[in-house]
């Protein structure tokens, strides 16, 4: 296993995790507002928290993945990288799905049918997904597959990202956004505009490593300008504005914290906690919103704003609990993977050393005098 030091430092990690926490909250708040507005007949609530909020949160997740994986590709071999990504996505997802299927079976009084294909998180086209939010994980899984291949040939990262961006642009602008769907197939997903976010994150990671001078203020200004130029209801072409804008914001955060050695404050630490728990929060919040809304008393629907606040609080609480379990599970599995990889490397080094010090002893026939 090849492990290189993390160049960003602790402040960079806190900053990026805080951004991940904000993204998770954006998605949660949008879903809570959307379904509360539908059930309570309060369109103003959905208009207040427009769909762009949830879309922005998802794109932040995607750009962050691209940015962080650019570093991970250079730090790990393909096998270790793939095992890390498997441990990151699947165990917590399967655990939450198991809880869901168990609760649903108890309520129905019989075992419900399990959609095994959906649990693979592979891009297999339209199908029912248990948690209702898996469409983003299809893109994550596909991107991790690409990154695993890049671990074998690290120098190809930049040209692959550039060529991939050109291919997606051709599909979006000349072939009616071919592949840009929430549940694509294997044949469609390489051309989806959603990949622009991963690609921009990867390119931002490359720039962060290569360029020594990047002005955080200029990055903030340019990033926010690009984000604001995109339409409120995002389409494929808008990805080419929003994703680079988010990438600029991430670069601004990273470079800003390089110059700021002060310890993070309480607010930043709270956002960091949300970022740490963001995956569990993302997986659990959607069903929590749906379940809580089913049990809201009829007399409370005259105050949809209060219902929205209560639903948001419940989803946040359940999501944080799921996130804590996810963090513990992932750290345990990742530690086991890393220990196994180190033992394998040490065993290989010991075998090589033994082979190098081996002395060939001539046979009895060879020792006979002529």
- Is residue 130 domain-resident? yes
Which pair of structure tokens corresponds to residue 30? 């949008």
Hey, what are 307's tokens? 């219902």
pLDDT at 4: 42
Checking if the pLDDT of 2 tops 50, the result is no
Is residue 358 a part of any domain in this protein?
Answer: no
Contact 197, 229 (CB under 8 A): no
**1 within a domain of the structure (yes/no):** no
Q: What is the pLDDT of residues 157-171, one digit of tens each?
A: 999 999 999 999 999
261 exposed, middle or buried (CB, 10 Å; 0-12, 13-18, 19+)?
Answer: exposed
Q: Is residue 360 part of a domain?
A: no
Look at the block and give the residue holding tokens 């079976």. 105
Q: Which domain does 143 fall in, by range?
A: 9-353
State yes or no: pLDDT of 147 exceeds 60.
Answer: yes
Span 61-74, mean pLDDT?
A: 96
The answer as to whether 24 is a domain residue is yes
In a domain, 87, yes or no: yes
Asked whether residue 338 is domain-assigned, the answer is yes
Reported residue count of the chain is 370
CA distances from 8 to 149, 246, 255, 321 (A): 25, 18, 9, 29
Q: Rounded to whole angstroms, how far apart are CA atoms 325 and 318?
A: 11
Q: For the chain, how many structural domains are there in total? A: 1
Residue 363 resides in a domain? no
């Amino acid at each position: 296993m090849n492990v290189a030091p993390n160049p960003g430092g602790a402040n960079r990690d806190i900053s990026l995790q805080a951004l991940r926490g904000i993204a998770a909250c954006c998605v949660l708040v949008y879903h809570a507002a959307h379904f509360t507005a539908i059930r309570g007949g309060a369109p103003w609530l959905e208009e207040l928290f427009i769909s762009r909020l949830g879309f922005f949160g998802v794109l932040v997740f995607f750009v962050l993945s691209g940015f962080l994986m650019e570093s991970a590709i250079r730090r790990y071999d393909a096998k270790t990288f793939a095992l890390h990504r498997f441990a990151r996505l699947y165990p917590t997802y399967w655990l939450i799905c198991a809880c869901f299927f168990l609760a649903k079976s108890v309520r129905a009084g019989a075992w419900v049918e399990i959609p095994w294909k959906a649990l693979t998180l592979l891009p297999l086209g339209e199908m029912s997904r248990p948690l209702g939010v898996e469409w983003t994980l299809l893109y994550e899984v596909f991107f991790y597959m690409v990154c695993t291949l890049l671990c074998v040939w690290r120098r190809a990262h930049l040209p692959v990202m550039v060529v991939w961006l050109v291919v997606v642009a051709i599909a979006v602008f000349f072939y009616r956004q071919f592949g840009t769907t929430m549940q694509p197939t294997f044949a469609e997903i390489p051309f989806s505009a959603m990949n622009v976010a991963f690609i921009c994150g990867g390119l931002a990671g490359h720039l962060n490593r290569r360029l020594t001078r990047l002005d955080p203020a200029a990055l903030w200004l340019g990033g926010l300008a690009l984000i604001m130029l995109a339409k409120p209801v995002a389409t494929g072409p808008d990805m080419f504005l929003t994703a680079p804008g988010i990438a600029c914001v991430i670069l601004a955060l990273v470079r800003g914290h390089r110059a700021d050695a002060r310890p993070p404050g309480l607010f930043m630490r709270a956002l960091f906690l949300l970022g740490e728990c963001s995956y569990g929060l993302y997986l659990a919040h959607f069903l929590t919103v749906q379940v809580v809304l089913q049990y809201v008393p009829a007399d409370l629907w005259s105050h949809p704003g209060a219902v929205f606040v209560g639903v948001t609080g419940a989803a946040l609480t359940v999501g944080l609990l799921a996130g804590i379990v996810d963090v513990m599970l992932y750290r345990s599995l990742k530690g086991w993977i890393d220990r196994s990889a180190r033992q394998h490397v040490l065993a290989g080094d010991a075998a090589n050393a033994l082979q190098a010090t081996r002395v060939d002893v001539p046979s009895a026939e060879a020792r006979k005098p002529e």
